[in-house]
């Protein structure tokens, strides 16, 4: 006999596509954390599976080995560091120096987030083993920003604000001098206060533009 008053049993169905994707993103975040905490060699699939309460079989269904999981996790992290073009366009302050300062602050603040720092530390630690992750970071995250700065400088050349120059080289110098030094300090654990950051960015931008002004 069956108890007609008992509630119907709820059958556990397969997760929806959205649920499965959310779990996969959770897996990639956990993998990044463990690779950062322990290094690629020490971190294991067992550790990652335990962190997200997932079976190794489920992980291997998406990623054939640990290296493949690492590359996918890094790629997702890089994609999250790409600044959309419309966001860059909104940084136009109508004045060259102010626009360059806004771009520099955006990039520095982006890298200074916990996500940005995690990615920087992993690239620094593992690019000797996976050189393609450094190349991917430059091509997908850094180069588009350099290209945008080059376009800003080219407009300034055409407007007579700065002397004719190789704007690609100038944009690379901008990234190295204005952004690179600040980022190295932050990644090294020596993050400046906001006032100090603004002063250093402003000084570096003025120094760059002084070298580009028409003589």
Is 70 exceeded by the pLDDT of residue 2? no
Longest Cα–Cα distance of the chain, Å, equals 98
Give ∠ CA 103-109-112 in degrees, rounded to 5: 145
Per cent of the chain over pLDDT 70 is 94
| C-beta neighbour count of 22 within 10 angstroms | 12
At 115 the pLDDT is 87
- Comparing CA positions, the residue from 104, 95, 118, 108 lying closest to residue 37 is 118
pLDDT in tens, 136-165: 999 999 999 999 999 999 999 999 999 999
Residue 64: strand, helix, or coil: coil
At 15 the pLDDT is 74
Is 60 exceeded by the pLDDT of residue 1? no
Cα torsion angle, 200, 201, 206, 212, sign:
positive
At 4 the pLDDT is 52
Say whether domain 85-212 belongs to CATH 3.90.950.10.
no
At 73 the pLDDT is 94
Residue spans per domain, the chain:
17-79, 85-212
At 13 the pLDDT is 57
- Comparing CA positions, the residue from 208, 210, 205 lying closest to residue 100 is 205
Span 17-79: which CATH code? 1.10.10.60
Model confidence band, residue 129 (pLDDT cutoffs 50, 70, 90): very high
Helices 17-42 + 114-126 axis angle, to 10: 50
**List of E strands, the chain:** none
At 113 the pLDDT is 87
For 86, the token pair is: 């419309």
Site of tokens 């993103």: 25
Cβ-based neighbours of 106, under 8 Å, separated by 6 or more: 83, 87, 88, 91
pTM for the model stands at 0.82
At 5 the pLDDT is 52
Model confidence band, residue 172 (pLDDT cutoffs 50, 70, 90): very high
pLDDT in tens, 180-209: 877 888 887 777 788 888 898 999 999 999
At 155 the pLDDT is 94
| C-beta neighbour count of 8 within 10 angstroms | 5
């Amino acid at each position: 006999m069956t108890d007609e008053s008992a509630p119907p049993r709820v059958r556990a169905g397969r997760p929806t596509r959205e649920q499965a994707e959310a779990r996969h993103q959770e897996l990639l975040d956990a993998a990044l954390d463990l690779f950062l905490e322990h290094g690629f060699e020490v971190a294991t699939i067992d550790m990652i599976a335990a962190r997200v309460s997932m079976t190794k079989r489920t992980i291997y269904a998406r990623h054939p080995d640990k290296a493949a999981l690492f590359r996918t996790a890094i790629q997702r992290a890089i994609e999250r560091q790409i600044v959309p073009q419309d966001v860059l366009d909104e940084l136009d302050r109508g004045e060259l120096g102010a626009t360059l300062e806004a771009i520099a602050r955006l990039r520095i603040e982006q890298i200074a987030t916990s996500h940005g720092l995690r990615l920087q530390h992993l690239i620094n630690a593992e690019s000797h083993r996976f050189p393609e992750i450094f190349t991917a970071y430059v091509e997908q995250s850094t180069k588009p920003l350099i290209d945008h700065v080059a376009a800003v400088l080219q407009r300034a050349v055409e407007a007579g604000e700065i002397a004719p120059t190789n704007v690609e080289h100038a944009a690379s110098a901008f990234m190295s001098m204005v952004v690179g030094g600040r980022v190295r300090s932050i990644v090294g654990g020596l993050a400046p206060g906001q006032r100090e950051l603004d002063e250093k960015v402003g000084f570096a931008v003025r120094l760059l533009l002084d070298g580009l002004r028409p003589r």
